[in-house]
Amino acid sequence: DVKVTQSSRYLVKRTGEKVFLECVQDMDHENMFWYRQDPGLGLRLIYFSYDVKMKEKGDIPEGYSVSREKKERFSLILESASTNQTSMYLCASSIGQVWDTQYFGPGTRLTVL
C-alpha cells in the first residue's frame, strides 16, 4: 500500500513564525502536491512538484514556498505565518502522469495565533 505521512497532525504557531510542514511518501512517486482544505472551499492546490528540485505554482502559492531535495520528501514552508493561513494542509503523491490518481496523507491541522 502507498503510504504518505505528514510530520504533524496538529500544529500551533504564532504570527510571524517560519513554519515547516513535511511530507514523505514511500512508493517512489514522481509527483507530489500540497493543498489546503477549508470549509466551503474544498481543496486548493498550493504547489506541486513533478521531480526532484522541480516545482510549479498551483492556484494559491502566495505566502508559501516548497522544497524537494529528495524524491520521497516534499516540504511546505510558510515564511512568515499569518492567521489567514490557519487551515488543514494535505499532502499527496502520484506516480506517472500528474493528472492521475493521487494518494493523500492524513493532513496537518495548522492554527496560527
Partner 1 sequence: AQSVTQLDSQVPVFEEAPVELRCNYSSSVSVYLFWYVQYPNQGLQLLLKYLSGSTLVESINGFEAEFNKSQTSFHLRKPSVHISDTAEYFCAVSSNTGNQFYFGTGTSLTVIP
Name the site residues for partner 1 (rule: CB under 8 A): 4, 33, 35, 40-45, 48, 50, 56, 58-59, 90, 92, 97-107
Nearest to partner 1 of 42, 84 (CB atom):
42
Cβ of residue 45: shortest distance to partner 1, in angstroms? 6
Contact 102, 90 (CB under 8 A): no
Cβ of residue 62: shortest distance to partner 1, in angstroms? 17
Cβ of residue 89: shortest distance to partner 1, in angstroms? 11
Q: Which of 91, 86, 113 is nearest to 104 (CA)?
A: 91
Nearest to partner 1 of 60, 79 (CB atom):
60
Nearest to partner 1 of 52, 79 (CB atom):
52
Residue type, 37: Q
Buried b (16+ CB within 10 A) or exposed e, 57-70: ebeeeeebebbbee
Nearest to partner 1 of 17, 56 (CB atom):
56
Element (H, E) at 93: strand 87-94
Q: Which of 45, 97, 99, 101 is nearest to 74 (CA)?
A: 45
Cβ of residue 101: shortest distance to partner 1, in angstroms? 5
